Structure 1
Amino acid sequence: MPLELIPIPCRTDNYAWLIHDPATDTTTVVDAPEAAPILRELYARGWKLTHILITHHHPDHTDGAPMLEAATGARLIGAAADTHRLPHLTEEVTPGEVIPVGMQAVAVIDAPGHTLGHVAYHFAEAKLAFTGDSLMAWGCGRLFEGTPAQMWGTLTRLAALPPDTLICSGHEYTQANGRFALSLEPANPALIARMAAVAAARAEGRPTLPVPLSLELATNPFLRASDPALRAAIGMTEASDLEVFTALRALKDRF
């Protein structure tokens, strides 16, 4: 039976991701910006929360975790490297591990850049990747703690997942990220078409996530550092991919 995936809007622009496995009656949430909207969704659907996966330590991804754990008895799982700044964990994980969540084998992917201890979670069988604030819809997270090289390594790892993987990131930033992409290549037809679809979704109050990795590979400037058209657009035809990514991230920071 396929997993059920529910994006739960939280705070101003965050998402928590609720994943229900009907075969085992297990329910997982990835990131917990606040508890109340998640608990409401659980109660409305009659689901019992069994796992809480945390991508990184920022409060807008963790504030609701202690209350959820107390209310449901769910296992609280996060990176061992960040135990000193995460809520108290039931289970510590390290990149490269594969952990069981219901019947799913979930790979823990090293994803530093936004923060040093950031991880992503890949549900390979279900073709889902929960990327927090690393790879984002049409963008990537700011480099608050890591280096451009670390974030470029993260994006390279995530870009290597199967193209039909659905990317579930942590914020509704897609429209703003698209404006930046279009500022670089205003005549790019793929970007224009994507922005039209994003604008229509937001006008109807619909989330713009999840997104197929294939769409990110085709339109996300931070995954296209080797694309000759994008390199030409920013005048960096002879630079390395890392140099192009670094320049793009600096341009976005000033956008």
Structure 2
Amino acid sequence: MLTISPLSAFEDNYIWSLCQPDNPFCVVVDPGDATPVLRLLQQQQKTLYAILITHHHPDHTAGLAQLQLAFPEVRIIGPAAERAKIPLLTEYVQQGDTIELTPFQYQFQVLDLPGHTLGHIGFYAAPYLLCGDTLFSAGCGRLFEGSPAQLYHSLQKLAALPDATEVYCTHEYTLANLRFALTVEPDNQALLAYQQQCIMLRQANQPTLPANLATEKQINPFLRCENKALQQRLQQDNAIDLLTRLRAMKDQFKS
């Protein structure tokens, strides 16, 4: 088993650390800031074995130079399609590739997830999904580079994973996303119950993540675009048009 823990960065980023109790190595995901990573490694007396990068945005990559300086042998694995934007990558991966994390006896499958950025990727080893800024709890990433159709297909790819999948996204946006989701489906009882659960977690200063994929398919409007009642409610004819409408509404939403 892996122990996956959030390292807080900036206002609402999570850098995920992947560790095992008796393993001297550690892997981190999307380190926008090196400081919390270096602090963890020092506290636990671990060596940074690899860094997984989902996309090129600075809040996911700005810590790379400092971490590579501290650990020159570290593997820095990220999207082949964004190699020009992430010059410190040492390995380039894309859909269909497998990443062997040998000291952990784990293999992660690479998923192409264009939408938020064109080259965005995710990493999956059941039950763990490391999905960057593609899927959030009760939401999804903004369309900075890709099209609504690309984002829709990326989200459908994630929705097809097993219901037990644990979703490790990289921002604590859940409560704001839930406020928007309730404007879309105010009578969704699963959504209302989940909001109360997440409010309690945040009041206790606990993360709302990882999210459970089965729950997300009940409460996340961006995973419910095939729902005919929802299409009718927002006067859209198909799933991609509904996602396009929802994303535009969310971009304007003041929570």
Interval of TM-score (by shorter of Structure 1 and Structure 2): over 0.9
Q: Deviations over 1:93-137 (max 9, x none)?
A: 12210110131111110011000010001123xx10010000111
TM-aligned CA deviation for residue 235 of structure 1:
3.1
2:231 and 2:239 in contact (8 A); partners too = no
2:18 and 2:28 in contact (8 A); partners too = yes
Alignment of 1:40-119 (within 5 A): 40-73=39-72, 74-102=74-102, 103-119=105-121
TM-aligned CA deviation for residue 230 of structure 1:
2.3
Partner of 2:8: 9
Percentage of matched positions with identical amino acids: 44
Partner of 2:242: 244
TM-aligned CA deviation for residue 187 of structure 1:
2.0
Report the AA paired with residue 41 of structure 2: L
Partner of 2:197: 197
**Aligned partners of 1:55, 1:222: CA distance in 2, in Å?**
20
**Aligned partners of 2:221, 2:118: CA distance in 1, in Å?**
22
Count matched residues.
Answer: 250
SS of aligned partner of 2:83: helix
**Aligned partners of 1:211, 1:221: CA distance in 2, in Å?**
15
2:24 and 2:45 in contact (8 A); partners too = no
What is the alpha-carbon root mean square deviation over aligned residues? Answer: 1.3
SS of aligned partner of 1:84: coil
Unaligned runs of 5+ in 1: none
Unaligned runs of 5+ in 2: none
Partner of 1:120: 122
SS of aligned partner of 1:115: coil
Q: Deviations over 1:18-52 (max 9, x none)?
A: 00145754311010010001111121122211000
Which shifted more, 98-107 or 171-180?
A: 98-107
TM-aligned CA deviation for residue 78 of structure 1:
0.7
**Aligned partners of 1:46, 1:138: CA distance in 2, in Å?**
36
Structure 1 length-normalised TM: 0.94
Structure 2 length-normalised TM: 0.94
Report the AA paired with residue 25 of structure 2: T
Report the AA paired with residue 205 of structure 2: G
TM-aligned CA deviation for residue 232 of structure 1:
3.6
Which shifted more, 225-234 or 207-216?
A: 225-234
TM-aligned CA deviation for residue 231 of structure 1:
2.5
Report the AA paired with residue 71 of structure 1: A
**Aligned partners of 1:76, 1:39: CA distance in 2, in Å?**
16
Residue 21 to residue 87, structure 1, CA distance change in 2 (3 Å) = farther
SS of aligned partner of 2:243: helix
**Aligned partners of 1:87, 1:203: CA distance in 2, in Å?**
40
Partner of 1:147: 147
**Aligned partners of 2:134, 2:50: CA distance in 1, in Å?**
21
